[in-house]
Amino acid sequence: MLRFQWSNARTVADAAAQLRTVPDAMLKAGGIDLLDRMKEGLERPSRIVNLLTVPDLAAIREEKEGLRIGPLVTLAQLDQSAVVRAKWTALADAAGHAATPQIRNVATIGGNLAQRPRCWYFRNEEFHCKKKGGTTCFAHDGENQLHAIFGNATCAAVHPSTPATALVALGARVTLTGSTSERTISVEELFASPERDVMRENILAPDEIITAIHLPPLAAGTRSAYLKQGAKESFDWPIVDVAAVLVLRDGRCTSASVVLGAVAPIPRRAEAVEERLVGKALTRATIEAVALSALDGATPLAHNKYKLPIVKAVVARAIAAAAGVAS
């Protein structure tokens, strides 16, 4: 039996201090991912530091500078928040289409951003893959149907967070609070490619806690959309998901942020698409032509080439949805 201590954190400072001083202590929010990893034999924490007992971390607050989201806000709260849905629609839809209603009621946005990949080789303790300090990515020559089609040379696991796709597209920032310091960086900078460190997906220091997510105010004419294509309708991680955030003035696109999820080890900005959208009047034909650029740089594996046309289709539909063009 796996033995561990349980500690109900009183404050963020208390939680961060425990993460710094207790070897192998691990932070728990909703526990959906952490408990799975413990059951899968991937984690053996000496102590679980329960963040749910820290007050004031579960609120969504409008601020002069935009919106502040506490790390313990659940995916269900984000889906149901009137202000998030009205203004930052892509995030409400990303949260509302993740997992199942039961999971969304428990899963927190902080834990969602810091969850580990669902690659079946990584999740199986029998496979000592690169993410566990090994020398092989078993997906490269194995079952890679759900794996990355971009940036997959070192490790082919895709990033598991669907809200991250929307948060990156919306230009969100995160505050990271450690035992001795605090910093605020973009969500895009939070994530680290396998080339930077194959054993991690983010740059959180061992004692750092996500203590806030900040959504910037929206420029006039901003519209956003999030679309997910899964293998089945009921619940699942996406095969491909896309968030599009457009600023439209006088019928033309003056700014575009288009981010792809579930296709790379970290959320992937479709830069060529963004560049080609700016300055254009968005018609169905323009959008279809521009969406093809989302495939630039793709390096699909033996069993996941089928994702290529899905990426193009979902990119086109997400842009059309944000622009209010029938697709």
**Which residue ranges make up the site for ligand FAD (CB under 6 A)?**
26-34, 51, 71, 98-99, 103, 107-108, 110-112, 114-115, 160-163, 204, 209-210, 235, 237
Name the residue nearer to ligand FAD (CB basis): 48 or 248.
48
**Nearest residue (CB) to ligand FAD, 38 versus 247:** 38
Distance between CA 155 and CA 107 in Å, rounded? 26
Cβ distance to ligand FAD smaller for residue 46 or 283: 46
| 298, 151 Cβ separation under 8 angstroms | no
* Residue 71 CB, nearest approach to ligand FAD (Å): 4
The CA distance from 191 to 204, in Å, is 9
In the complex, the smallest distance separating the C-beta of residue 108 from ligand FAD, rounded to whole angstroms, is 3
Place of tokens 């969500």: 187
Give me the DSSP letters along 201-218.
SB---TT-EEEEEEEPPP
Q: Residue with CB nearest ligand FAD?
A: 111
Q: How far is the CB of 9 from ligand FAD (least distance, A)?
A: 11
CB of 118 to ligand FAD, least distance (A): 8
Please tell me the number of Cα atoms within 13 Å of 67 on its side-chain side.
Answer: 22
Neighbouring residues of 261: CB distance < 8 A, sequence distance ≥ 6 = 158, 159, 161, 162, 164, 165, 238, 240, 241, 242, 243, 267, 268
Apex 79 CA angle, 246 and 326, nearest 5? 40
Query: Minimum distance between the CB of residue 130 and ligand FAD, rounded to whole angstroms?
Result: 19
How far apart are CB 102 and ligand FAD at their closest, in Å?
Answer: 9
C-alpha 207/C-alpha 106 separation (Å) is 23
Nearer to ligand FAD, 110 or 267 (CB): 110
Closest to ligand FAD by CB, 157 vs 246, is: 157
Place of tokens 């095969």: 239
Residue among 204 and 266 whose Cβ is closer to ligand FAD: 204
